[in-house]
Chain A
């Protein structure tokens, strides 16, 4: 009986904590463009990205040559969108994916706080 309860608890904890995607989950992706872009290019790139299924919001910075967009992973894959970008638009570009070290040393705002972690643990259970 105790073993069964432990198994149930383990399954519950896994269910609460395993990464999952809901229809509302939004992820941000970044495309680095390897050539100078004009305002006209910004408009073209923004328009193209907004036409991709699953894309929610787009911003293109011509100074840094960076395009960032959020998309719903339940509807689209970031890699697929970037691959189509490279195939259909005349801009040499790569998706920027931060390394694990870069992610670990990046601002999570409240994430480092002990109290925030406790709060999120309880919130996930509830």
Chain B
């Protein structure tokens, strides 16, 4: 897999952050000590060896988030309450060397990293409202229910537990996720 490089596309990202409501804005409005973001608490920008890509480095914060996301994805894939919304996980190699699993892992990791205050990763996908509005996003096969959202949060908590995420950090992440309920659940 190619290592993501953001500098060459800084102009596009700048445009995207101006157009889209930045998820990182929500994260920066949370009451955290000056200079310390939730991303910092999750590992921050310290570079460590990427265990899945020998020779590559990854920010410790992103690695921690990716581990939780990957565990959560497994839980979701085996959860009949909501796995119908995530069948893309089972798609084979579609572009480059990314499968549905890898693509979803990368995108969710970037989304959560941005939402927790990461400076080097900015989510440039659809806003959470548009992404879950079938009128805007034709991949959304119907509006998400509160039960769907509850199942997602439950699976996220299970994924975080598998990675022994400290309770205080899980609570902070859960607050960010819960703040998205009104955007995701549109019924």
Contacts and interface: CB of A to CB of B under 8 A. Distances in A.
Interface of A: 16-17, 19-22, 24-30, 57, 59-61, 63-64, 66-68, 70, 73, 96-98, 102-113, 115-116, 118-120, 122-124, 126
B42 interface: no
Closest 7 CB pairs of A and B: A110-B125, A109-B107, A105-B141, A61-B78, A98-B87, A106-B88, A28-B101
Contacts of A60: 78
Given A17-B95, A25-B99, A110-B126, 19 more contacts: A17-B96, A19-B94, A24-B1, A26-B102, A64-B80, A64-B83, A67-B78, A70-B101, A98-B91, A102-B87, A105-B141, A107-B104, A107-B131, A108-B139, A109-B103, A115-B12, A115-B15, A119-B13, A126-B8
Interface of B: 1-2, 4-5, 8-9, 12-13, 15-16, 19-20, 52-53, 70, 73-75, 77-80, 83-104, 107-108, 110-111, 123-126, 131, 137-141
Contact of A111 (B5, B85, B125): B125
Given A103-B87, A112-B137, A123 B93 contact: no
13 contacts: A19-B95, A21-B93, A22-B97, A26-B52, A26-B102, A28-B89, A68-B78, A106-B139, A112-B131, A112-B139, A116-B124, A119-B12, A119-B13
Given A25-B99, A107-B88, A124-B96, A30 B77 contact: yes
A103 B88 CA distance: 5
A104 B87 CA distance: 9
Point out which of A21, A61, A113, A126 has the most chain B C-beta atoms below 10 A from its C-beta. Answer: A113
Contacts of B13: 119
Given A19-B92, A24-B97, A28-B90, A111 B139 contact: yes
B126 A106 contact: no
B186 to A, nearest CB: 14
A34 B101 CA distance: 24
A70 B92 CA distance: 11
Nearest to B77: A68
A122 B8 contact: yes
Point out which of B13, B86, B88 has the most chain A C-beta atoms below 10 A from its C-beta. Answer: B88
Given A59-B77, A59-B78, A106-B85, A111 B93 contact: no
Contacts of B137: 112
Contact of A28 (B2, B4, B8, B99): B99
A112 B140 CA distance: 10
B56 to A, nearest CB: 9
A30 B90 contact: yes
